[in-house]
Chains A and B, each alone.
Chain A
Amino acid sequence: MAWYRRVEIPIILTIIFCLFQVVPYFFVVPAWESAAKDFVDWDAVMETFALFIGFSTLLMLHGRIVSQRRRGWYWSAWVLITMIGYTIVGIPIPALGLGKGTPLFEAIRLYVLTPLSGAMYASLGFWIASAAYRAFRARTLEAGILLLSGTLVMLANAPVGTAIWPTFTPIRKWIFDVPNMATMRAVTIGAALGAISLGARTLMGRERGYLRGGE
Protein backbone atom coordinates (compact mmCIF):
# COMPACT_ATOMS: atom_id res chain seq x y z
CA MET A 1 0.00 0.00 0.00
CA ALA A 2 1.23 3.48 -0.87
CA TRP A 3 2.39 5.43 2.21
CA TYR A 4 -0.20 8.17 1.74
CA ARG A 5 -3.03 5.62 1.92
CA ARG A 6 -1.91 4.25 5.25
CA VAL A 7 -4.55 4.49 8.00
CA GLU A 8 -1.96 5.72 10.52
CA ILE A 9 -1.73 9.14 8.83
CA PRO A 10 -5.29 10.35 9.57
CA ILE A 11 -5.03 8.84 13.06
CA ILE A 12 -1.84 10.80 13.81
CA LEU A 13 -3.37 13.99 12.39
CA THR A 14 -6.48 13.48 14.55
CA ILE A 15 -4.35 13.00 17.68
CA ILE A 16 -2.26 16.12 16.97
CA PHE A 17 -5.28 18.36 16.30
CA CYS A 18 -7.20 16.95 19.27
CA LEU A 19 -4.27 17.78 21.56
CA PHE A 20 -4.12 21.30 20.17
CA GLN A 21 -7.72 21.88 21.31
CA VAL A 22 -7.56 20.02 24.61
CA VAL A 23 -4.30 21.38 26.08
CA PRO A 24 -5.29 25.12 26.22
CA TYR A 25 -8.29 24.13 28.31
CA PHE A 26 -5.95 23.03 31.13
CA PHE A 27 -2.69 24.98 30.63
CA VAL A 28 -1.93 28.59 29.70
CA VAL A 29 0.55 28.47 26.81
CA PRO A 30 -0.02 31.61 24.63
CA ALA A 31 1.68 30.25 21.49
CA TRP A 32 -0.24 27.00 21.77
CA GLU A 33 -3.54 28.89 22.28
CA SER A 34 -2.87 31.02 19.23
CA ALA A 35 -2.23 27.92 17.10
CA ALA A 36 -5.40 26.29 18.45
CA LYS A 37 -7.42 29.39 17.40
CA ASP A 38 -5.90 29.21 13.91
CA PHE A 39 -6.99 25.59 13.60
CA VAL A 40 -10.53 26.65 14.52
CA ASP A 41 -10.40 29.01 11.52
CA TRP A 42 -9.27 26.12 9.33
CA ASP A 43 -12.46 24.37 10.37
CA ALA A 44 -14.50 27.10 8.64
CA VAL A 45 -12.65 26.49 5.38
CA MET A 46 -13.11 22.73 5.64
CA GLU A 47 -16.81 23.08 6.41
CA THR A 48 -17.23 25.16 3.26
CA PHE A 49 -15.66 22.35 1.26
CA ALA A 50 -17.96 19.88 3.03
CA LEU A 51 -20.96 21.92 1.86
CA PHE A 52 -19.72 21.66 -1.72
CA ILE A 53 -19.21 17.90 -1.32
CA GLY A 54 -22.74 17.58 0.12
CA PHE A 55 -24.19 19.47 -2.83
CA SER A 56 -22.28 17.33 -5.35
CA THR A 57 -23.24 14.09 -3.59
CA LEU A 58 -26.92 15.04 -3.66
CA LEU A 59 -26.64 15.92 -7.34
CA MET A 60 -25.02 12.57 -8.18
CA LEU A 61 -27.36 10.50 -6.01
CA HIS A 62 -30.64 12.01 -7.22
CA GLY A 63 -29.32 12.48 -10.77
CA ARG A 64 -28.70 8.72 -10.94
CA ILE A 65 -32.18 7.93 -9.60
CA VAL A 66 -33.78 10.20 -12.23
CA SER A 67 -31.67 8.94 -15.14
CA GLN A 68 -32.43 5.30 -14.24
CA ARG A 69 -36.15 6.07 -13.67
CA ARG A 70 -36.07 4.26 -10.34
CA ARG A 71 -39.16 4.06 -8.11
CA GLY A 72 -40.24 7.54 -6.98
CA TRP A 73 -37.80 9.19 -9.41
CA TYR A 74 -40.07 12.25 -9.71
CA TRP A 75 -39.37 13.11 -6.05
CA SER A 76 -35.66 13.10 -6.83
CA ALA A 77 -36.33 15.30 -9.86
CA TRP A 78 -38.19 17.73 -7.60
CA VAL A 79 -35.24 17.77 -5.16
CA LEU A 80 -32.89 18.62 -8.05
CA ILE A 81 -35.18 21.33 -9.43
CA THR A 82 -35.65 23.08 -6.07
CA MET A 83 -32.00 22.70 -5.04
CA ILE A 84 -30.54 24.00 -8.29
CA GLY A 85 -33.29 26.60 -8.69
CA TYR A 86 -32.82 28.12 -5.22
CA THR A 87 -29.03 28.02 -5.64
CA ILE A 88 -29.33 30.04 -8.87
CA VAL A 89 -31.71 32.48 -7.18
CA GLY A 90 -29.13 32.91 -4.39
CA ILE A 91 -26.16 33.70 -6.68
CA PRO A 92 -25.24 37.32 -5.91
CA ILE A 93 -25.88 39.06 -9.27
CA PRO A 94 -28.12 42.01 -8.30
CA ALA A 95 -28.22 43.25 -11.93
CA LEU A 96 -30.24 40.13 -12.80
CA GLY A 97 -32.37 40.36 -9.66
CA LEU A 98 -30.53 37.42 -8.11
CA GLY A 99 -28.91 37.03 -4.70
CA LYS A 100 -29.82 37.10 -1.02
CA GLY A 101 -32.05 40.02 -0.12
CA THR A 102 -33.51 40.41 -3.62
CA PRO A 103 -37.34 40.33 -3.92
CA LEU A 104 -37.35 36.88 -5.57
CA PHE A 105 -35.07 35.28 -2.97
CA GLU A 106 -36.99 36.87 -0.09
CA ALA A 107 -40.38 35.92 -1.57
CA ILE A 108 -39.34 32.24 -1.80
CA ARG A 109 -37.99 32.37 1.76
CA LEU A 110 -40.99 34.17 3.26
CA TYR A 111 -43.86 32.65 1.34
CA VAL A 112 -42.61 29.14 0.55
CA LEU A 113 -39.80 28.03 2.87
CA THR A 114 -41.13 29.56 6.11
CA PRO A 115 -44.75 28.31 5.90
CA LEU A 116 -43.66 24.88 4.62
CA SER A 117 -41.20 24.46 7.50
CA GLY A 118 -43.84 25.56 10.01
CA ALA A 119 -46.42 23.25 8.45
CA MET A 120 -44.04 20.26 8.70
CA TYR A 121 -43.55 20.92 12.40
CA ALA A 122 -47.23 21.66 13.01
CA SER A 123 -48.29 18.39 11.38
CA LEU A 124 -46.74 16.68 14.41
CA GLY A 125 -49.71 17.98 16.39
CA PHE A 126 -52.03 15.73 14.39
CA TRP A 127 -49.81 12.72 14.94
CA ILE A 128 -49.71 13.45 18.67
CA ALA A 129 -53.52 13.73 18.81
CA SER A 130 -53.88 10.42 17.00
CA ALA A 131 -51.18 8.78 19.16
CA ALA A 132 -52.88 10.12 22.31
CA TYR A 133 -55.99 8.24 21.31
CA ARG A 134 -54.42 5.00 20.08
CA ALA A 135 -51.04 4.52 21.71
CA PHE A 136 -50.95 6.25 25.13
CA ARG A 137 -52.28 3.27 27.09
CA ALA A 138 -51.86 2.53 30.78
CA ARG A 139 -50.81 -1.06 30.05
CA THR A 140 -48.48 -1.24 33.06
CA LEU A 141 -48.06 0.69 36.30
CA GLU A 142 -45.06 2.57 34.85
CA ALA A 143 -47.04 3.53 31.73
CA GLY A 144 -49.89 4.69 34.00
CA ILE A 145 -47.52 6.93 36.01
CA LEU A 146 -46.10 8.35 32.78
CA LEU A 147 -49.59 9.09 31.48
CA LEU A 148 -50.65 10.75 34.71
CA SER A 149 -47.54 12.95 34.91
CA GLY A 150 -47.88 13.88 31.22
CA THR A 151 -51.52 14.86 31.75
CA LEU A 152 -50.66 16.99 34.80
CA VAL A 153 -47.90 18.81 32.89
CA MET A 154 -50.28 19.45 29.99
CA LEU A 155 -52.88 20.87 32.35
CA ALA A 156 -50.26 23.18 33.86
CA ASN A 157 -49.15 24.34 30.40
CA ALA A 158 -52.63 25.24 29.19
CA PRO A 159 -54.24 28.41 30.60
CA VAL A 160 -57.48 26.50 31.09
CA GLY A 161 -55.73 24.07 33.47
CA THR A 162 -54.31 26.74 35.75
CA ALA A 163 -57.57 28.70 35.55
CA ILE A 164 -59.42 25.67 36.92
CA TRP A 165 -56.85 24.75 39.56
CA PRO A 166 -53.67 26.89 40.04
CA THR A 167 -51.96 24.05 41.93
CA PHE A 168 -51.21 22.39 38.57
CA THR A 169 -48.27 24.82 38.28
CA PRO A 170 -46.41 23.70 41.46
CA ILE A 171 -47.18 20.06 40.55
CA ARG A 172 -45.53 20.56 37.15
CA LYS A 173 -42.58 22.25 38.86
CA TRP A 174 -42.19 19.26 41.20
CA ILE A 175 -42.33 16.81 38.26
CA PHE A 176 -39.61 18.76 36.45
CA ASP A 177 -37.47 19.40 39.53
CA VAL A 178 -37.50 15.97 41.13
CA PRO A 179 -38.14 12.88 38.96
CA ASN A 180 -37.21 14.57 35.68
CA MET A 181 -34.11 16.16 37.16
CA ALA A 182 -32.86 12.87 38.56
CA THR A 183 -33.32 11.13 35.21
CA MET A 184 -31.89 13.90 33.06
CA ARG A 185 -28.82 14.28 35.29
CA ALA A 186 -28.17 10.56 34.99
CA VAL A 187 -28.56 10.77 31.20
CA THR A 188 -26.32 13.86 30.95
CA ILE A 189 -23.59 12.45 33.18
CA GLY A 190 -23.77 9.12 31.37
CA ALA A 191 -23.44 10.83 27.99
CA ALA A 192 -20.54 12.95 29.28
CA LEU A 193 -18.70 9.87 30.53
CA GLY A 194 -19.30 8.26 27.15
CA ALA A 195 -17.93 11.37 25.41
CA ILE A 196 -14.83 11.32 27.63
CA SER A 197 -14.14 7.67 26.85
CA LEU A 198 -14.73 8.33 23.13
CA GLY A 199 -12.28 11.26 23.33
CA ALA A 200 -9.70 9.14 25.13
CA ARG A 201 -10.06 6.35 22.57
CA THR A 202 -9.70 8.87 19.72
CA LEU A 203 -6.60 10.39 21.31
CA MET A 204 -5.09 6.92 21.67
CA GLY A 205 -5.92 6.07 18.06
CA ARG A 206 -8.19 3.23 19.10
CA GLU A 207 -11.42 4.82 17.86
CA ARG A 208 -11.59 4.30 14.10
CA GLY A 209 -15.30 4.73 13.39
CA TYR A 210 -14.61 7.93 11.45
CA LEU A 211 -12.13 6.18 9.13
CA ARG A 212 -13.85 4.44 6.24
CA GLY A 213 -16.52 3.03 8.56
CA GLY A 214 -13.95 1.62 10.99
CA GLU A 215 -12.04 -0.59 8.56
Chain B
Amino acid sequence: MSGTEEKAGKGFWERLQEIDSRIIYLLLWIVILWPLITPIGLPISISTGTREYYRIIEDLKPGSRVILSYDLSFAGLPELGPMTIATLHHLLSKDVKVYICAFWDSGADIAADNIKALDPEKNYGKVYGKDYIHMGYNPMREVGMAQFASDVYKAFPVDYIYKKPLETYEIMKGVQTAKDFDLLISVQSGTPGNPEWVRQWITPYGTKYIIGILGVSVPEVAPYYNAGQVKAFLSGLRSAAEYELLVGRRGAALAQQDPLSTTHILVILFVVVGNIGYLFTRGRRGR
Protein backbone atom coordinates (compact mmCIF):
# COMPACT_ATOMS: atom_id res chain seq x y z
CA MET B 1 0.00 0.00 0.00
CA SER B 2 1.40 3.42 -0.94
CA GLY B 3 1.81 6.22 1.56
CA THR B 4 -1.17 8.17 0.13
CA GLU B 5 -3.44 5.09 0.20
CA GLU B 6 -2.30 4.35 3.71
CA LYS B 7 -3.14 7.91 4.76
CA ALA B 8 -6.53 7.76 3.04
CA GLY B 9 -7.35 4.58 4.96
CA LYS B 10 -6.88 6.27 8.31
CA GLY B 11 -9.72 7.89 10.22
CA PHE B 12 -9.87 11.50 11.41
CA TRP B 13 -8.63 10.73 14.93
CA GLU B 14 -5.77 8.58 13.67
CA ARG B 15 -4.59 11.35 11.37
CA LEU B 16 -4.97 13.86 14.19
CA GLN B 17 -2.72 11.67 16.35
CA GLU B 18 0.03 11.89 13.75
CA ILE B 19 -0.06 15.66 13.34
CA ASP B 20 3.27 17.26 12.38
CA SER B 21 5.21 18.63 15.38
CA ARG B 22 5.83 21.85 13.44
CA ILE B 23 2.10 22.64 13.57
CA ILE B 24 2.18 22.25 17.36
CA TYR B 25 5.22 24.55 17.57
CA LEU B 26 3.55 27.11 15.30
CA LEU B 27 0.40 27.14 17.45
CA LEU B 28 2.56 27.66 20.53
CA TRP B 29 4.33 30.57 18.85
CA ILE B 30 0.98 32.17 17.99
CA VAL B 31 -0.43 31.89 21.52
CA ILE B 32 2.76 33.37 22.99
CA LEU B 33 3.04 36.27 20.54
CA TRP B 34 -0.64 37.18 20.26
CA PRO B 35 -1.17 38.32 23.90
CA LEU B 36 2.24 40.04 23.91
CA ILE B 37 1.15 42.19 20.97
CA THR B 38 -2.44 42.73 22.18
CA PRO B 39 -2.51 42.20 25.98
CA ILE B 40 -5.70 40.80 27.48
CA GLY B 41 -5.08 41.98 31.07
CA LEU B 42 -6.66 39.10 32.97
CA PRO B 43 -7.12 39.75 36.72
CA ILE B 44 -4.50 38.24 39.05
CA SER B 45 -5.44 37.13 42.54
CA ILE B 46 -2.65 37.21 45.15
CA SER B 47 -1.94 33.89 46.85
CA THR B 48 -1.24 33.38 50.55
CA GLY B 49 2.35 32.25 49.87
CA THR B 50 3.21 35.48 48.04
CA ARG B 51 1.63 37.54 50.84
CA GLU B 52 3.74 35.65 53.41
CA TYR B 53 6.95 36.38 51.42
CA TYR B 54 6.00 40.06 51.13
CA ARG B 55 5.02 40.30 54.79
CA ILE B 56 8.32 38.84 56.05
CA ILE B 57 10.29 41.53 54.20
CA GLU B 58 7.79 44.23 55.09
CA ASP B 59 8.01 43.40 58.82
CA LEU B 60 11.83 43.72 58.97
CA LYS B 61 12.90 46.12 61.71
CA PRO B 62 14.96 49.18 60.71
CA GLY B 63 18.66 48.32 60.47
CA SER B 64 18.02 44.58 59.91
CA ARG B 65 20.71 42.72 58.02
CA VAL B 66 19.41 40.81 54.99
CA ILE B 67 21.31 38.52 52.62
CA LEU B 68 20.07 38.28 49.05
CA SER B 69 21.80 35.36 47.38
CA TYR B 70 21.65 35.09 43.59
CA ASP B 71 21.80 31.32 43.15
CA LEU B 72 20.62 31.22 39.58
CA SER B 73 21.90 30.82 36.05
CA PHE B 74 21.29 32.83 32.90
CA ALA B 75 19.00 29.99 31.76
CA GLY B 76 16.77 30.54 34.80
CA LEU B 77 16.72 34.30 34.33
CA PRO B 78 13.51 34.57 32.24
CA GLU B 79 11.53 32.91 35.03
CA LEU B 80 13.44 34.08 38.12
CA GLY B 81 14.68 37.47 36.94
CA PRO B 82 11.46 39.42 37.64
CA MET B 83 11.10 38.19 41.25
CA THR B 84 14.80 38.83 41.89
CA ILE B 85 14.70 42.45 40.83
CA ALA B 86 11.37 42.97 42.62
CA THR B 87 12.89 41.58 45.84
CA LEU B 88 15.93 43.85 45.55
CA HIS B 89 13.61 46.80 44.91
CA HIS B 90 11.57 45.89 47.99
CA LEU B 91 14.69 45.61 50.17
CA LEU B 92 16.17 48.88 48.90
CA SER B 93 12.86 50.63 49.60
CA LYS B 94 13.20 49.73 53.28
CA ASP B 95 15.58 50.85 56.01
CA VAL B 96 17.58 47.59 56.03
CA LYS B 97 21.14 46.62 55.16
CA VAL B 98 21.39 44.45 52.06
CA TYR B 99 24.23 41.94 51.56
CA ILE B 100 24.21 40.59 48.01
CA CYS B 101 26.12 37.41 47.17
CA ALA B 102 26.06 34.48 44.74
CA PHE B 103 26.86 30.78 44.79
CA TRP B 104 26.34 30.42 41.04
CA ASP B 105 28.90 32.01 38.74
CA SER B 106 26.30 33.82 36.66
CA GLY B 107 24.50 35.00 39.83
CA ALA B 108 27.12 37.64 40.62
CA ASP B 109 26.78 39.16 37.15
CA ILE B 110 22.98 39.09 37.32
CA ALA B 111 23.13 40.85 40.69
CA ALA B 112 25.45 43.51 39.27
CA ASP B 113 23.01 44.02 36.37
CA ASN B 114 20.11 44.41 38.82
CA ILE B 115 22.01 46.97 40.90
CA LYS B 116 22.81 48.91 37.74
CA ALA B 117 19.18 48.75 36.59
CA LEU B 118 17.75 49.95 39.91
CA ASP B 119 20.50 52.52 40.59
CA PRO B 120 20.17 52.51 44.42
CA GLU B 121 22.09 55.79 44.91
CA LYS B 122 19.81 57.76 42.61
CA ASN B 123 16.44 56.08 43.09
CA TYR B 124 16.54 54.94 46.73
CA GLY B 125 19.12 57.26 48.31
CA LYS B 126 21.25 54.27 49.34
CA VAL B 127 25.03 54.30 49.63
CA TYR B 128 27.22 51.42 48.44
CA GLY B 129 29.20 49.93 51.32
CA LYS B 130 26.94 51.58 53.90
CA ASP B 131 23.41 50.47 53.02
CA TYR B 132 24.12 47.67 50.57
CA ILE B 133 27.06 45.71 49.26
CA HIS B 134 27.76 43.18 46.53
CA MET B 135 30.02 40.55 48.10
CA GLY B 136 30.48 38.59 44.89
CA TYR B 137 30.60 34.94 43.95
CA ASN B 138 31.80 31.99 46.00
CA PRO B 139 32.57 28.98 43.76
CA MET B 140 32.63 26.35 46.51
CA ARG B 141 28.91 25.54 46.48
CA GLU B 142 27.77 23.88 49.73
CA VAL B 143 31.25 24.07 51.27
CA GLY B 144 31.22 27.80 50.46
CA MET B 145 27.86 28.18 52.22
CA ALA B 146 29.33 26.48 55.31
CA GLN B 147 32.33 28.80 55.13
CA PHE B 148 30.04 31.83 54.75
CA ALA B 149 28.11 30.77 57.85
CA SER B 150 31.21 30.38 60.03
CA ASP B 151 33.27 33.31 58.69
CA VAL B 152 31.87 35.82 56.21
CA TYR B 153 35.31 37.23 55.34
CA LYS B 154 36.77 33.87 54.37
CA ALA B 155 33.88 33.17 52.02
CA PHE B 156 33.94 36.66 50.51
CA PRO B 157 37.33 38.36 51.09
CA VAL B 158 36.69 41.33 48.75
CA ASP B 159 33.57 42.97 47.35
CA TYR B 160 32.51 42.45 43.75
CA ILE B 161 32.35 46.04 42.49
CA TYR B 162 35.57 47.67 43.79
CA LYS B 163 37.53 44.55 44.86
CA LYS B 164 38.28 46.11 48.25
CA PRO B 165 38.58 44.02 51.44
CA LEU B 166 35.10 43.48 52.81
CA GLU B 167 35.98 44.53 56.36
CA THR B 168 36.83 48.07 55.14
CA TYR B 169 33.15 48.78 54.45
CA GLU B 170 30.91 50.37 57.09
CA ILE B 171 28.09 47.91 56.40
CA MET B 172 30.31 45.04 57.61
CA LYS B 173 30.72 46.39 61.15
CA GLY B 174 29.60 43.75 63.65
CA VAL B 175 29.20 41.08 60.96
CA GLN B 176 31.14 37.85 61.40
CA THR B 177 28.94 34.75 61.15
CA ALA B 178 25.45 33.56 60.15
CA LYS B 179 24.18 34.61 63.60
CA ASP B 180 24.63 38.26 62.65
CA PHE B 181 21.99 38.20 59.90
CA ASP B 182 18.24 38.60 60.34
CA LEU B 183 17.01 37.17 57.06
CA LEU B 184 18.39 35.06 54.25
CA ILE B 185 16.75 35.27 50.82
CA SER B 186 17.92 32.96 48.06
CA VAL B 187 16.59 33.08 44.51
CA GLN B 188 17.62 29.74 43.11
CA SER B 189 17.41 27.56 40.05
CA GLY B 190 19.08 24.33 41.19
CA THR B 191 22.04 22.96 43.12
CA PRO B 192 23.47 24.50 45.26
CA GLY B 193 20.11 25.75 46.46
CA ASN B 194 17.51 24.98 49.05
CA PRO B 195 18.75 21.71 50.69
CA GLU B 196 22.28 23.13 50.95
CA TRP B 197 21.13 26.36 52.62
CA VAL B 198 18.94 24.37 55.01
CA ARG B 199 21.84 22.06 55.94
CA GLN B 200 24.46 24.79 56.41
CA TRP B 201 22.44 27.77 57.69
CA ILE B 202 18.91 27.01 58.75
CA THR B 203 19.43 23.88 60.85
CA PRO B 204 22.67 24.93 62.64
CA TYR B 205 22.00 28.69 63.01
CA GLY B 206 18.20 29.00 62.76
CA THR B 207 18.37 31.93 60.31
CA LYS B 208 15.01 33.09 58.99
CA TYR B 209 14.90 31.96 55.38
CA ILE B 210 12.70 32.68 52.35
CA ILE B 211 13.29 31.71 48.72
CA GLY B 212 12.35 32.29 45.12
CA ILE B 213 12.20 29.17 42.94
CA LEU B 214 11.28 27.88 39.50
CA GLY B 215 7.68 26.70 39.08
CA VAL B 216 8.83 23.09 38.66
CA SER B 217 10.67 23.13 42.00
CA VAL B 218 7.54 23.54 44.17
CA PRO B 219 7.09 19.79 44.88
CA GLU B 220 10.69 19.59 46.18
CA VAL B 221 10.41 22.70 48.35
CA ALA B 222 6.92 22.05 49.79
CA PRO B 223 8.14 19.65 52.57
CA TYR B 224 10.72 22.24 53.75
CA TYR B 225 8.00 24.88 53.83
CA ASN B 226 5.61 22.69 55.81
CA ALA B 227 8.42 21.82 58.23
CA GLY B 228 8.95 25.57 58.84
CA GLN B 229 12.51 25.63 57.50
CA VAL B 230 11.45 27.75 54.54
CA LYS B 231 9.22 30.51 55.90
CA ALA B 232 7.80 31.54 52.52
CA PHE B 233 8.52 31.10 48.83
CA LEU B 234 7.74 32.60 45.46
CA SER B 235 7.43 30.11 42.63
CA GLY B 236 7.68 30.97 38.96
CA LEU B 237 6.30 33.87 37.01
CA ARG B 238 2.82 33.76 38.52
CA SER B 239 4.10 34.41 42.06
CA ALA B 240 6.52 37.00 40.70
CA ALA B 241 3.62 38.87 39.09
CA GLU B 242 1.64 38.79 42.35
CA TYR B 243 4.71 40.08 44.20
CA GLU B 244 5.20 42.87 41.66
CA LEU B 245 1.63 43.96 42.38
CA LEU B 246 2.31 43.95 46.12
CA VAL B 247 5.55 45.94 45.93
CA GLY B 248 4.02 48.35 43.42
CA ARG B 249 6.61 47.85 40.71
CA ARG B 250 5.10 46.56 37.49
CA GLY B 251 7.74 44.51 35.70
CA ALA B 252 8.38 41.66 33.30
CA ALA B 253 6.37 39.08 35.26
CA LEU B 254 3.10 41.03 35.00
CA ALA B 255 3.72 41.58 31.29
CA GLN B 256 4.09 37.83 30.79
CA GLN B 257 0.90 36.74 32.57
CA ASP B 258 -1.30 36.75 29.47
CA PRO B 259 1.07 34.49 27.44
CA LEU B 260 1.29 32.30 30.55
CA SER B 261 -2.50 31.89 30.47
CA THR B 262 -2.76 31.26 26.74
CA THR B 263 0.09 28.73 26.65
CA HIS B 264 -1.36 26.84 29.64
CA ILE B 265 -4.75 26.70 27.95
CA LEU B 266 -3.15 25.45 24.73
CA VAL B 267 -1.24 22.70 26.54
CA ILE B 268 -4.44 21.63 28.34
CA LEU B 269 -6.24 21.56 24.97
CA PHE B 270 -3.42 19.40 23.54
CA VAL B 271 -3.78 16.99 26.45
CA VAL B 272 -7.57 16.79 26.01
CA VAL B 273 -7.53 16.40 22.21
CA GLY B 274 -4.63 13.95 22.38
CA ASN B 275 -6.50 11.79 24.91
CA ILE B 276 -9.81 11.88 23.01
CA GLY B 277 -7.91 10.75 19.89
CA TYR B 278 -6.18 8.06 21.92
CA LEU B 279 -9.51 6.75 23.27
CA PHE B 280 -11.06 6.57 19.79
CA THR B 281 -8.07 4.95 18.11
CA ARG B 282 -7.53 2.55 21.03
CA GLY B 283 -11.01 1.13 20.44
CA ARG B 284 -10.20 0.68 16.76
CA ARG B 285 -6.82 -0.90 17.46
CA GLY B 286 -8.52 -3.25 19.94
CA ARG B 287 -10.80 -4.59 17.19
- Indicate whether B134 reaches chain A with its CB closer than 8 angstroms: no
User: Which residue of chain B has its CB nearest to the CB of A138?
Assistant: B275
Verify A163–B42 contact, CB threshold 8 A: yes
User: With A114-B74, A117-B74, A159-B238 in contact, do A184 and B219 touch (Cβ < 8 Å)?
Assistant: yes
Known A-B contacts: A129-B267, A139-B278. Give 8 more (CB < 8 A): A44-B140, A121-B75, A129-B27, A133-B270, A137-B275, A154-B267, A157-B236, A188-B223
Other-chain contact of A137, B147, B150, B219, B274 (Cβ < 8 Å): B274
Verify B146–A40 contact, CB threshold 8 A: yes
- Indicate whether A161 reaches chain B with its CB closer than 8 angstroms: yes
Q: How far is the CA of A125 from the CA of B27 in the complex (A)?
A: 12
Other-chain contact of A109, B109, B144, B219, B268 (Cβ < 8 Å): B109
User: With A159-B44, A163-B42, A181-B222 in contact, do A129 and B77 touch (Cβ < 8 Å)?
Assistant: no
Q: Which residues of B contact A109 (CB under 8 A)?
A: 109
| Interface, chain B (partner A; CB < 8 A) | 17, 19, 21, 24-25, 27-28, 42-45, 47, 73-79, 106, 109, 113, 139-140, 143-144, 146-147, 150-151, 154, 215, 218-220, 222-223, 226, 236, 238, 241, 257-258, 260-268, 270-271, 273-275, 278
Majority-rule SS of A interface residues: helix
User: With A41-B154, A129-B28, A184-B223 in contact, do A157 and B270 touch (Cβ < 8 Å)?
Assistant: no
Q: Which residues of B contact A126 (CB under 8 A)?
A: 24-25, 28
The 10 closest A-B pairs by CB, nearest first: A160-B261, A117-B74, A158-B264, A133-B270, A117-B75, A121-B75, A132-B270, A159-B42, A158-B261, A114-B74
| Interface, chain A (partner B; CB < 8 A) | 37, 40-41, 43-44, 47, 109-110, 113-114, 117-118, 120-122, 125-126, 128-130, 132-134, 136-139, 147, 151, 154-155, 157-163, 166, 169, 176-177, 180-181, 183-185, 188
Q: Can you list 19 A-B pairs with a CB-CB distance of less than 8 A?
A: A44-B139, A44-B143, A117-B75, A121-B78, A129-B263, A129-B270, A130-B21, A132-B271, A133-B274, A155-B264, A157-B260, A158-B264, A159-B257, A160-B42, A180-B222, A181-B226, A184-B219, A184-B220, A188-B223
User: With A159-B260, A163-B43 in contact, do A129 and B25 touch (Cβ < 8 Å)?
Assistant: yes
**Nearest-Cβ distance from residue A88 to partner chain B, whole angstroms:** 18
Q: Which residues of B contact A110 (CB under 8 A)?
A: 113
Verify A177–B42 contact, CB threshold 8 A: no
Q: Which residues of A contact B73 (CB under 8 A)?
A: 117
Q: Which residues of A contact B19 (CB under 8 A)?
A: 133
Q: Which residues of B contact A122 (CB under 8 A)?
A: 78
Verify B264–A132 contact, CB threshold 8 A: no
Q: Which residues of A contact B17 (CB under 8 A)?
A: 134
Q: Which residues of A contact B76 (CB under 8 A)?
A: 121
Verify B275–A158 contact, CB threshold 8 A: no
Verify A166–B45 contact, CB threshold 8 A: yes
User: With A109-B109, A159-B42, A166-B45 in contact, do A177 and B270 touch (Cβ < 8 Å)?
Assistant: no
Verify B261–A133 contact, CB threshold 8 A: no
Verify A43–B74 contact, CB threshold 8 A: no
User: With A130-B24, A162-B45 in contact, do A157 and B215 touch (Cβ < 8 Å)?
Assistant: yes
Q: How far is the CA of A113 from the CA of B28 in the complex (A)?
A: 25
Verify A43–B143 contact, CB threshold 8 A: yes
User: With A37-B151, A132-B270, A137-B278 in contact, do A160 and B219 touch (Cβ < 8 Å)?
Assistant: no
Q: How far is the CA of A195 from the CA of B279 in the complex (A)?
A: 44
User: Which residue of chain A has its CB nearest to the CB of B279?
Assistant: A138
User: Which residue of chain A has its CB nearest to the CB of B224?
Assistant: A188
Verify B77–A132 contact, CB threshold 8 A: no
Q: How far is the CA of A110 from the CA of B257 in the complex (A)?
A: 25
